[in-house]
Chain A
Amino acid sequence: MIPELGHYALVLALALALVQAVVPLWGARANDATLMGVGASTALAQFVFVAASFGALTAAYVGSDFTVLNVFQNSHSTMPLVYKFTSVWGNHEGSMLLWVLILALFGALVALFGSNLPATLKANVLAVQAWIACAFYLFILITSNPFARLAQAPAEGRDLNPILQDIGLAVHPPLLYLGYVGFSISFSFAIAALIDGKIDAAWARWVRPWTLVAWMFLTLGIAMGSYWAYYELGWGGWWFWDPVENASLMPWIAGTALLHSAVVMEKRNALKIWTILLAILTFSLSLLGTFLVRSGVLTSVHTFATDPSRGVFILAILVLFIGGALALYAWRAPALKQGGIFAPISREGALVFNNLFLTSACATVFVGTLYPLALEALTGDKISVGAPFFNLTFGPLFVPLLIAVPFGPLLAWKRGDLFGAAQRLIWAAALGIAALAVTFAIQRGGPVLAPFGVGLAVYVMIGALIDPIERIGLFRQPYAVAFARARGLPRSAWGTAVAHFAAGMLLFGVIAESQWNSERIVSLKPGGSVSVSGYDLTLDQMVPRKGPNYSELIARFTVRRDGEVVDVLEPSKRTFPQRQMSTTEAALLTRGASQLYLSLGDVAADGAIAIRLYHKPLVLLIWFGCVVMVLGGALSLSDRRLRVGAPKPARKSALQPAE
Chain B
Amino acid sequence: MTRKQRRLTLIGAGLGVLGLAAGLVLYALNDAIVFFNSPSDVVEKHIAPGSRIRLGGLVKPGSLVRGDNLAIRFEVTDGNKSLPVSYTGILPDLFREGQGVVTEGAMDVAGTFKADSVLAKHDETYMPKEVADALKKQGHWKTEGGGYGLAGGATPVGAKK
Contact = CB atoms under 8 A, between A and B. Distances in A.
A602 B91 contact: yes
Interface residues of A, number: 70
Contacts of A381: 35-36
B159 interface: yes
Interface stretch (B78-86, B105-113, B128-136): B128-136
Contacts of B155: 161, 163, 300-301
Interface in B137-161: 148-161
Interface string A514-555: 000000011100000000000000000000000000000000
Interface string A486-507: 0000000000000000000000
Interface stretch (A256-264, A384-392, A457-465): A384-392
Contact of B34 (A235, A296, A305, A384): A384
Interface string A571-584: 00000000101111
Interface centre among B20, B130, B153 (most CB of A within 10 A): B153
B124 A360 contact: no
B70 interface: yes
Interface string A186-209: 000000000000000000000000
B121 interface: yes
B6 A583 contact: no
Contacts of A304: 124, 151-153
Nearest to B127: A299
Contacts of B25: 364, 367-368, 393
Nearest to B130: A382
9 contacts: A73-B152, A158-B150, A299-B121, A300-B155, A341-B6, A343-B1, A382-B36, A383-B33, A521-B161
A344 interface: yes
Contacts of B151: 73-74, 91-92, 158, 304-305
A388 B35 contact: no
B149 A305 contact: yes
A309 B89 CA distance: 40
Contact of A235 (B29, B133, B154, B158): B158
A306 B154 CA distance: 10
A430 interface: no
B152 A384 contact: no
A306 B123 contact: yes
A45 B32 CA distance: 52
B152 A397 contact: no
B114 interface: no
A388 B28 contact: yes
Contacts of A522: 70
Contacts of A161: 152-153, 155
A360 to B, nearest CB: 4
A74 B151 CA distance: 7
B35 A382 contact: yes
A301 B154 CA distance: 4
A479 interface: no
Contacts of B121: 299-300
Contacts of B66: 604-605
A392 B17 CA distance: 15
A216 to B, nearest CB: 27
B27 A360 contact: no
A209 B69 CA distance: 56
B93 to A, nearest CB: 5
Given A299-B123, A371-B29, A383-B33, A579 B6 contact: no
B159 to A, nearest CB: 6
B124 A392 contact: no
A391 B91 CA distance: 26
Interface in A345-374: 352-353, 356-357, 360-361, 363-364, 367-368, 371-372
B46 interface: no
A97 interface: no
A235 B159 contact: yes
Contacts of B152: 73-74, 90-91, 158, 160-161, 164, 304-305, 579
Contacts of A352: 10, 13
Interface string B92-108: 01100000000010000
B9 interface: yes
A610 interface: yes
Q: Which 7 A-B pairs have the closest CB atoms?
A: A601-B90, A382-B36, A388-B32, A161-B153, A360-B21, A161-B152, A392-B28
A164 B130 CA distance: 24
Contacts of A582: 93
Interface in A299-322: 299-306
A605 B155 CA distance: 27
A84 to B, nearest CB: 15
B153 A163 contact: yes
A396 interface: yes
B45 to A, nearest CB: 11
A319 to B, nearest CB: 23
Nearest to A154: B148
A594 to B, nearest CB: 21
Contact of A240 (B3, B9, B94, B156): B156
A361 B18 CA distance: 9
B62 to A, nearest CB: 16
B21 A361 contact: yes
A610 B70 contact: yes
Contacts of B31: 388, 392
A364 B90 CA distance: 33
B70 to A, nearest CB: 5
B122 interface: yes
Interface in B8-46: 9-10, 13-14, 17-18, 20-21, 24-25, 27-29, 31-36
A381 B69 CA distance: 36
Nearest to B129: A299
Contacts of A69: 148
B20 A301 contact: no
Given A158-B148, A299-B121, A361-B21, 17 more contacts: A91-B152, A161-B155, A233-B156, A234-B157, A235-B160, A237-B160, A296-B123, A299-B156, A300-B155, A301-B155, A301-B156, A360-B17, A383-B34, A384-B54, A389-B32, A392-B32, A521-B161
Given A299-B122, A305-B149, A610-B70, A386 B160 contact: no
Contacts of A388: 28, 31-32
B94 A581 contact: yes
A343 B24 contact: no
Contacts of A605: 66
A393 B28 contact: yes
